[in-house]
């Protein structure tokens, strides 16, 4: 399973096509949403107080609304409020690795986020679509202001884990994840300024049975997000090392609520189609 996620900021100083959203001025032009040679944005909605609001780009899109409804099933509304924009795109990529979704901050302080969904991929595989939704929201709640210090601009100034955007606080989910599961020199192998790919994680996947495929092995954030999605939708672990990561997530305050909401809605268990590592 490949879910390419990015937390790169698309903030602009001067929004020539800005609209008034829940977080103030947000750029809802195609360029502001992140359109480029690969991503063609179709629709974007404001998110207002954790609820899907009006469109700010394009027109209503049933597929994107269905993706939002699925996200809202598993996610408490107060946490959905960290999103400012929910967007849908199509992808014309020549790469072998398809981008299923991505997350980015829309303000300099990391207070509000945009989640973008590949509409064609979402329709193509319901199992993978569900896992992608949970994976991407993991990137949101692990990157909010209380989790990461975005005033740190250099890995040398970070005592925990620097991801290219800032330094994770000592008691953050990601700092703890790195401490428990990325020891023995694993974290030193990561270049935080490079976008993760399957190829980046292949060697670690070969060596370590705890990963849910090579993409999870590409860096700690993708490892956590893939494992979190497996946890939410009650995938059976294929190795004892995978189970240890699922158990760790189950022990963290607040994270079990996502799984409980999925179970209450009758969503899952889903099939574990992740590549086995180790």
Query: Tell me, what's the pLDDT at 94?
Result: 63
Nearest to 267 by CA among 83, 129, 139: 129
Query: Tell me, what's the pLDDT at 95?
Result: 64
Identify the band that residue 5 occupies on the pLDDT scale cut at 50, 70 and 90.
very low
Q: Report the range of poorest mean pLDDT among 35-39, 70-74, 79-83, 126-130.
A: 35-39
Mean pLDDT of 157-165: 96
Q: To the nearest whole percent, how much of the chain has pLDDT over 70?
A: 90
DSSP string, 106-119: SSTTS--EEEEEEH
Mean pLDDT of 247-265: 97
Mean pLDDT of 227-245: 98
At 209 the three-state DSSP class reads: coil
Q: To the nearest whole percent, how much of the chain has pLDDT over 90?
A: 85
Query: Tell me, what's the pLDDT at 10?
Result: 33
pLDDT of 192 above 50:
yes
Query: Tell me, what's the pLDDT at 92?
Result: 80
Mean pLDDT of 50-59: 98
Q: Report the range of poorest mean pLDDT among 9-18, 139-148, 236-245, 260-269.
A: 9-18
- Residue 36 CA to residue 91 CA, distance in Å, equals 10
What digits encode the pLDDT tens for the residues 17-44?
A: 444 454 457 899 999 999 998 899 999 9
Query: Tell me, what's the pLDDT at 214?
Result: 98
DSSP string, 9-26: ----SS-TTEEEETTEEE
What digits encode the pLDDT tens for the residues 77-110?
A: 999 999 999 999 998 866 667 899 999 999 988 8
Q: Which helix (H) or strand (E) holds 136?
A: helix 126-141
Query: Tell me, what's the pLDDT at 17?
Result: 41
What digits encode the pLDDT tens for the residues 139-158?
A: 999 999 999 999 999 999 99
What digits encode the pLDDT tens for the residues 193-219?
A: 899 999 999 999 999 999 999 999 999
Query: Tell me, what's the pLDDT at 55?
Result: 98
**25 vs 235: which has the higher pLDDT:** 235
- Residue 270 CA to residue 30 CA, distance in Å, equals 34
pTM: 0.92
Burial 156-191 (b: 16+ CB within 10 A, else e): eebebbbbebbbbbeebbbbbbbeebbeeebbeebe
Peptide bond into 71 cis (omega under 30): no
Query: Tell me, what's the pLDDT at 108?
Result: 82
- Residue 239 CA to residue 21 CA, distance in Å, equals 45
Chain centroid to CA 101? 8
For all residues of the chain together, what is the average pLDDT?
Answer: 91
Contact 39, 95 (CB under 8 A): no
Domain boundaries, the chain: 18-141, 148-264
Pairing mode, strands 148-149 and 167-168: antiparallel
């Amino acid at each position: 399973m490949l879910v390419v996620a990015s937390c790169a900021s698309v903030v602009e100083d001067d929004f020539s096509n800005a609209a008034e959203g829940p977080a103030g001025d947000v750029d809802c032009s195609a360029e502001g949403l992140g359109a480029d040679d690969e991503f063609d944005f179709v629709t974007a909605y404001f998110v207002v107080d954790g609820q899907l609001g009006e469109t700010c780009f394009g027109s209503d899109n049933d597929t994107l609304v269905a993706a939002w409804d699925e996200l809202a099933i598993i996610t408490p509304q107060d946490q959905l409020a960290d999103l400012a924009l929910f967007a849908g795109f199509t992808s014309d990529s020549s790469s072998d690795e398809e981008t299923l979704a991505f997350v980015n901050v829309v303000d300099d302080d990391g207070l509000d986020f945009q989640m973008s969904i590949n509409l064609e991929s979402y329709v193509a595989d319901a199992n993978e679509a569900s896992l992608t939704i949970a994976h991407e929201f993991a990137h949101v709640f692990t990157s909010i202001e209380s989790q990461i210090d975005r005033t740190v601009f250099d890995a040398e100034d970070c005592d925990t884990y620097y991801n290219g955007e800032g330094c994770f606080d000592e008691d953050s989910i990601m700092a703890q994840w790195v401490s428990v599961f990325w020891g023995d020199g694993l974290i030193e192998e990561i270049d935080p300024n490079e976008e993760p790919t399957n190829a980046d994680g292949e060697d670690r996947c070969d060596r370590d049975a705890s990963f849910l495929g090579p993409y999870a092995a590409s860096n700690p954030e993708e490892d956590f997000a893939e494992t979190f999605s497996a946890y939410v939708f009650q995938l059976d672990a294929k190795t004892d090392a995978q189970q240890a990561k699922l158990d760790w997530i189950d022990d963290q305050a607040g994270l079990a609520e996502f799984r409980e909401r999925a179970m209450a809605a009758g969503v899952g268990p889903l099939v574990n189609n992740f590549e086995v590592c180790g």
